Amino acid sequence: MTNIPKSVGIIYKHNFGPAKRECQRLKEWFTERGITVYTEEMASRAFISQSLEEETNIPDTVHWVVVLGGDGTLLGAARKIGRYGVPILGINLGGLGFLAEIPLKRLYKDMERLIAGEMEVEARLMLEASVLRDNEEKCRFSVLNDVVINKGALARIINLRVSIDRRFLTTFRADGLIVSSPTGSTGYNLSAGGPILYPNLEALILTPICPFTLTQRPIILPDTSVIEINMGEDSEEVTLTFDGQVGFDLMDNDGIIIRTSEKKLKLIKSPDQDYFDILRTKLKWGESS
């Protein structure tokens, strides 16, 4: 049974010639089949002063979205159109990726398989984070990987008072704090000593960055948890980042609320790729030193 779409979106890597050229070729391929195509170049990393969601040229009526780039481009696409609930196919134009796992050489073969209904769709938990300042919401984003509070290079250690479902957990004295989804567990969370979670699990990970007290360790929480983080006094040069791509400057007494998003990202998976194969390759497990 075929699954020919009426319209698709293509999001391609910022300022990267091969991605732009492949976007044009793929657009022509879809157009020859009577499919309307909307394209968008992924913006570079940016700091924001106030935002409630990222704008996009891709309408919510598209059938699929194809992402040309790598994991970073796919993370940006997830923030932009994950709320639509449309399936996303990641095409990696570089090395093997955790998210954009399909190589360019298989692009058109897998497009045919997708139309034929031979590709799987996997739901991935997303996080929603908002910043409250003087009881006003200043910023809100949905992310696929993680939300990170981080101090500047020369700033003092920061105090972060954390409550789970309005119950006090602890005050982290650390360089920062990572709240990660299972998908993001192999990113910054892993570098900071957090655990790897299978990507379609329903859980959150709270991982301190270089804690002052060594007994403050990562904790895995149920996906129903609402995490509330309050900034201490004299919190200088502290930044909140969304998937490591969008930054927001925090101030004293700001409150950050993080929960699972109502929307899940629908990631199109090739049956030829296995998560454990990717894990072994990316982390070089089993290789001699």
Report the chain's terminal Cα–Cα distance, integer Å: 48
The pLDDT, as a whole number, for residue 185 is 97
Same domain for 153 and 98, yes or no, is no
> Residues 144, 256: one domain?
yes
In 165-286, beta strands by DSSP E = 167-174, 176-180, 203-209, 219-222, 227-231, 238-242, 246-249, 255-260, 265-269
DSSP classification of residue 194: P
Please give the pLDDT value at position 1: 43
- How high is the pLDDT of residue 288? 56
Does an H or E element contain 141, and which? Answer: strand 136-143
In 3D space, the residue among 123, 248, 221, 95 whose CA is nearest the CA of residue 165 turns out to be 221
Number of separate domains in the chain: 2
pLDDT of residue 271: 78
pLDDT value of residue 51: 65
Domain membership of residue 92 as a residue range: 7-125+264-283
Asked if residues 109 and 120 have their Cβ atoms less than 8 Å apart, the reply is no
List 71, 110, 146, 254, catalytic entry: 71
256 and 276 within one domain:
no
Q: Is 249 part of the annotated catalytic residue set?
A: no
The reported pLDDT for the residue numbered 182 is 98
CA distances to 185, 195, 196, 210 from 191, in Å: 9, 10, 10, 11
Query: Do 107 and 212 fall within a single domain?
Result: no
Q: What is residue 256's predicted lDDT score, i.e. its pLDDT?
A: 97
Residues of the chain with pLDDT under 50: 1
**37, 118: one domain:** yes
Domain-located, residue 134: yes
Return the CATH number at 67.
3.40.50.10330
